[in-house]
Structure 1
Amino acid sequence: MNVGRSYRLREFLLWTRRELYLLLILGIVPVCLYEMAGWHWLAIPWTVVALIGTATALIVSFNNTQTYARTVEAQQVWAGILSSSKAWGLMSRDYLKNPEITRQLVNRHLAWVTALRYQMRRSRAWESTNRATNAEYQSFYDVPEKENTLETELARYLAPAELSEVLASRHKATQLLARQSRAIRDLFSNGEIVINFFIEMEKAVKELLDHQGRSERLKNFPYPRQYATINQLFIRLFCILLPFGMLKEFDALHRVWLVIPFSVMISWMYTSLQQVGESTENPFEGGANDVPIAQIARMIEIEVLELLGETDLPPLRSPKNNIIL
């Protein structure tokens, strides 16, 4: 997530420069053939291009609206995790009289948050992080989940025996919530919490499972591929035909060479909107516009430990080039 005022124009041009190079070639070739080779038959009616451009604009608008909605939902899910985590910290502190057990429940919860954010960072085939443009831009910021292994992070919260069992499981976040539920059941069976507190804590575990399920849905179910494919096809078709449709219009003004800058500028608007949409549709992939789940996890750790009276608290993560994940 960018926490500055905005991206600088230089950054945006660097991010989209590959498309600009291609658009420049697409603009130069038709003009040279039209003006220098005398191939005037290359010109196509502007009405055709305008109709395709209108349809493309509608599709691009729909695509970006839907991809932005996915990011907004991801923000809501992790804001919910933050709120539910503080509630869990309060219940663990106030419902139990044993500080050691309270700390175990809190640590296991922090382990769950950690396991979930690492799960969200796993690569998927449809994600765009590994594409040349985005992979290059990753040098401008840090992805915390790539700096340390999951085992190293979980070792901060779990005992060695429990850590080994969790790491051996396939669904680590779910396994940790299952252990929380079992721990609560054992506390109730041993008479350490009353039935009302038991019910409230089980409801809290269920709420955390709901948050996890929503987060997993956004991660594992991409923006429909049919819409993404047709969006890309229409934009490519429009960018290819645009300079051909502008030839006669600028030739009538005796300024046919102006087709190059104007076609590049208009096409760049469409390709940039597509690129922005692609970088927004997967809010956990590790891109510069992702939901800052590592920062939210750190906020959870700070606030929950503070509720327990801890004073040695970890600092919030610092943004790099105004980007924080």
Structure 2
Amino acid sequence: MIVGRSPRIRQSFQKAWSALIALFFWDLAVTIFYYISPFKAPALPLTIFGTALALILGFRVNSAYSRWWEGRILWGAMVNVSRSFARAVLAYLPDTADGRALGHLLVRRHIAYVHALRCQLRRQDPAPDMRRVLETDDLPELERRNPANGILDGTDHAIMGAVRRGWIDTIQQSRIEGLLVDMSNAQGGMERIKNTPLPAQYRAFPKYFTRLFCILLPIGLVETLGMATPVGSAVAGFMFLAVLQIGDDLVDPFGNDVHDLPLSSITTTIEGDLSQAIGLPAPPPLQPVDGILW
């Protein structure tokens, strides 16, 4: 996620440069044809076209931003429930060697859980982070299609084992189970966003209409701008292409691009808070690199 104070105009230009070059040469060809040909450009209702396109792009960007912001809300809820889970298991389990060992194991399992969830959403291998946190290669959860959900299942079984031993009562178990349900609900919301793309109409039509508008733009402007048409049309076209690119950048908030949510930073924050809760050194918080927080 870009956290710098100024927008990255250069990055937007780099993504749209091929379309801008093609647009500029098309504008230049239209301008030259206007001056050497007896035919005159038809009067085009560019204001109506531009207004309609702006509304379409606005709906698309709002839809994409809603997905991005909902993803951030879900991860914010995951941070809160993670702290509550660690606090609950450490407080409820007995202050004995076995009780503390189980509490520390459950906290470490949850740290592995958030890292596994991050990797699943980014389509990465969760095994290295899980092995690092749990300090073992024996991870049956990796055999499952959804390792993060497998960790939750194992944690729930461990909690029920503590209930059978009499270490926690049913009221405390119900409280912890509620936290696990909150984790599962947040994970389900993230997976819904990740696995459900925008409808095809939202993805295809804005691109078609934007390109068509950029093609018609110099034809409608050449009589007014004259020799300045290539520059003026290219600048106006870049504005619409940039708004179109914003929607593309925000539609998948759980990717590994500069515009996506900083999942590595969020999971590192969770690991730091929970590690300190069990007396382990916390990893340093991630810092922005060139204005980008991963």
User: What's the TM-score once normalised by structure 1's chain length?
Assistant: 0.85
1:316 is the counterpart of 2:285: yes
Helix, strand or coil for the counterpart of 2:252? Answer: coil
Q: 1:191 aligned to 143, 166, 171, which one?
A: 166
The counterpart of 1:222, out of the listed 185, 197, 220, is: 197
* Amino acid aligned to 1:62: F
Q: What are the ranges of 5 or more consecutive residues in structure 1 without an aligned counterpart?
A: 123-144, 251-255
Q: Which residue of 2 aligns with 1:141?
A: none
Deviation at 1:271, TM superposition (A): 0.5
2:116: which partner in 1? 115
The alpha carbon displacement at 1:7 in A equals 2.5
Q: What letter matches 1:183 in structure 2?
A: A
What per-residue deviation string (whole Å, max 9, x for no partner) do you get for residues 218-271 of structure 1? 100012221121111111110011101112333xxxxx2111111111111000
Offset at residue 286 of structure 1 (A):
1.1
Q: 1:107-165 CA distances to partner (integer Å, 9 max, x unpaired)?
A: 1111110110001102xxxxxxxxxxxxxxxxxxxxxx6xxx522111022353641x1
**1:67 corresponds to 2:43:** no
Which residue identity lines up with residue 245 of structure 2 in the other structure? Q
RMSD across aligned positions (CA): 1.5
* Structure 1 position 156 matched with structure 2 position 145: no
Partner residue, 1:84? 81
CA contact (8 A) 1:77 1:211 kept: yes
1:33 aligns with 2:33: yes
Could you list the per-position Cα deviations for residues 47-105 of structure 1 after superposition, in whole angstroms to 9, with x for gaps in the alignment?
2x322211111101111111111111011000000000000110121011211101110
Provide the secondary structure at the position in 1 that maps to 2:54: helix
For structure 2, list consecutive stretches of 5 or more residues without a partner in the other structure. none
Partner of 1:137: none
Match of 1:46 among 44, 47, 58: 44
Alignment-derived partner of residue 106 in structure 2: 105
CA pair 242-18 structure 1, distance change in 2 beyond 3 A: same
Pair 1:241-2:216 in alignment: yes
Letter in 1 for 2:50: G
Distance, in Å, in 1 between the alignment partners of 2:128 and 2:8 is 36
Contact 2:131 2:137 in 1 (8 A): no
User: The residue matched to 1:156 in structure 2 has which SS?
Assistant: helix
Q: Write the letter of the residue equivalent to 2:116.
A: A
Decide whether the 8 Å contact of 1:23 with 1:268 is kept in 2: no
Is the 1:84–1:204 contact (alpha carbons within 8 Å) kept by the matching residues of 2? Answer: yes
Query: Using the alignment, how far apart are the partners of 1:167 and 1:233 within structure 2?
Result: 43
In structure 2, the residue matched to 1:270 is: 240
Asked if 2 retains the 8 angstrom alpha-carbon contact of 1:85 and 1:300, the reply is: yes
d(CA) in 2 for partners of 1:87, 1:20: 51
Decide whether the 8 Å contact of 1:2 with 1:323 is kept in 2.
Answer: yes
Contact 2:89 2:103 in 1 (8 A): yes
TM-score with structure 2 setting the length: 0.94
Distance 2:186 2:263 in 1: 13
After the TM superposition, which segments of 4 or more aligned residues of structure 1 sit over 4 Å from their partners?
A: none
CA deviations on 1:193-242 (whole Å, 9 max, x unpaired) are 11111111111111100000001011000122211211111111100111
Aligned with residue 301 of structure 1, among 259, 271, 275: 271
CA contact (8 A) 2:111 2:271 kept: yes
CA distance, structure 2, for counterparts of residue 313 and residue 227 of structure 1: 43
Question: CA shift at 1:306, angstroms?
Answer: 1.5
Alignment correspondent of 1:142:
none
Secondary structure in 2 matching 1:155:
helix
Residue pair 1:219, 1:284 contacting (<8 A) in 2 also = yes
Alpha-carbon shift at residue 8 of structure 1 (Å): 4.2
Aligned residues: 290
Q: Give the deviation of 1:290 after TM superposition.
A: 0.8
CA contact (8 A) 2:12 2:242 kept: no
- Range with greater deviation from structure 2 (196-205 or 11-20): 11-20
Separation in 2, partners of 1:17, 1:101: 56
Q: Give 1:167 shift.
A: 1.2
Q: Distance in 2 between matches of 1:168 and 1:298?
A: 25
| Cα separation, 2, equivalents of 1:161 and 1:71 | 35
Q: For residues 275 and 221 of structure 2, what CA distance do their matches in structure 1 show?
A: 64
Task: Name the % identity.
Answer: 29
Secondary structure (helix, strand or coil) at the match of 1:160 reads coil
Distance 1:78 1:194 in 2: 30
* Residues 247, 259 of structure 1: 8 Å contact kept: yes
For 1:277 and 1:39, locate their aligned partners in 2 and report how far apart those are by CA, in whole Å.
41
| Separation (CA, whole Å) in 1 of partners of 2:152 and 2:38 | 69
